[in-house]
Structure 1
Amino acid sequence: MPEDLSPSPAPIERSCWLPRHRSSPRAARWALHKFLLPHPSGELLVFTGELLVSELVTNAVRHCRAPHNLLILVRFQLAPDDTLRIEVHDADSQEPSYRPASTTAESGRGLLLVKELATQWGCCPREGGVGKFVWCHISPEADAA
């Protein structure tokens, strides 16, 4: 009897546009929370996901060297293996870089958090040559550890 070779389910995606404003990290956390809530693995991803999307959007708001009227695109994708992909797009082509933070500094650790908590992360130019997107992957196993 032949096996059922039904195709694997497609990833589930959602995206939203946010202004370059200090309230956008909170809006991105809320959008991610609403995206993950209905999924069985969502509870395992939400804590780290909210932290990392907040850091990536904060970087786009604070460090993007583009006109303030240009929006930030935030995209979430949940793969069939429950890996969460977060992308944050902005209009600045310069890749993010680590900068040393003193022990008393109140900022400067966002990319370090992304590097330590994501299973993978990176930065790519946007299609069409305007800007970049920073992405990270989070797995439920890594988040539960």
Structure 2
Amino acid sequence: MSGFSEAAREAKCWLPRSRRSPAEARRRLERLLDGAVDGERFIDTGLLLVTELVTNAVLHATPRDNRVLLELSVDPVRLRIEVHDARADGVPEVRAAGRDDESGRGLMLVKSLSEKWGCCPRAGIGKIVWCEIAPSPAAAEGAA
């Protein structure tokens, strides 16, 4: 596994195809934001969206015996989350879940809470699903 850069602005790690991977992704994001100036401005939305993207990759887009690559970067104006998986077929579908559905809201949350998001092919095999998050307005006001 790769670690964090000395500037604590970028992080990259491989995660197993496991239901425990979203929790590990949250820990990695918390560590990155703890080391970044004003990183707390991204924490709430960042934790939610990294969980959604990693969960989708683990449950729906990563074949057995493959791993997920998580890449995080933060600067003063945005947090970028990238999740690389080994499944190249299809762009993730954003759909409205029914009231009684127990799943299916993840990408709708990503679309609603991020400034930008998308999906692109990955060199070699698979795809990258990514999002960019602006600082929380409440957190930004508190820092001023």
TM range (shorter): 0.7 to 0.9
Q: Which residue of 2 aligns with 1:12?
A: 9
Q: Which residue of 2 aligns with 1:75?
A: 71
Q: Which amino acid aligns with 1:115?
A: K
The separation in 1 between residues aligned to 2:138 and 2:92, in whole angstroms, is 24
Q: Which residue of 1 aligns with 2:4?
A: none
Residue of 16, 20, 25 corresponding to 1:23: 20
| 2:46 alignment partner, SS class | helix
Contact 2:96 2:108 (C-alpha < 8 Å) held by counterparts: no
Contact 1:98 1:111 (C-alpha < 8 Å) held by counterparts: yes
Shift of 1:106: 1.6
Q: Which amino acid aligns with 1:36?
A: L
Q: Which residue of 2 aligns with 1:3?
A: none
Unaligned runs of 5+ in 1: 1-9
Shift of 1:19: 0.6
Contact 1:41 1:82 (C-alpha < 8 Å) held by counterparts: no
The separation in 1 between residues aligned to 2:8 and 2:22, in whole angstroms, is 24
Q: Which residue of 2 aligns with 1:84?
A: 79
Q: Which residue of 2 aligns with 1:55?
A: 52
CA RMSD of aligned residues (A): 1.9
The separation in 2 between residues aligned to 1:52 and 1:143, in whole angstroms, is 18
Contact 2:36 2:74 (C-alpha < 8 Å) held by counterparts: no
Shift of 1:119: 0.6
Deviations 1:57-116 (A, max 9, x none): 01001111x53110000000113x331100000000121112341101121000000000
Q: Which residue of 2 aligns with 1:5?
A: none
Q: Which residue of 1 aligns with 2:107?
A: 111
Contact 2:10 2:73 (C-alpha < 8 Å) held by counterparts: yes
The separation in 2 between residues aligned to 1:72 and 1:17, in whole angstroms, is 6
Shift of 1:39: 1.6
The count of corresponding residues between Structure 1 and Structure 2 is: 133
Unaligned runs of 5+ in 2: 1-6
Shift of 1:141: 4.4
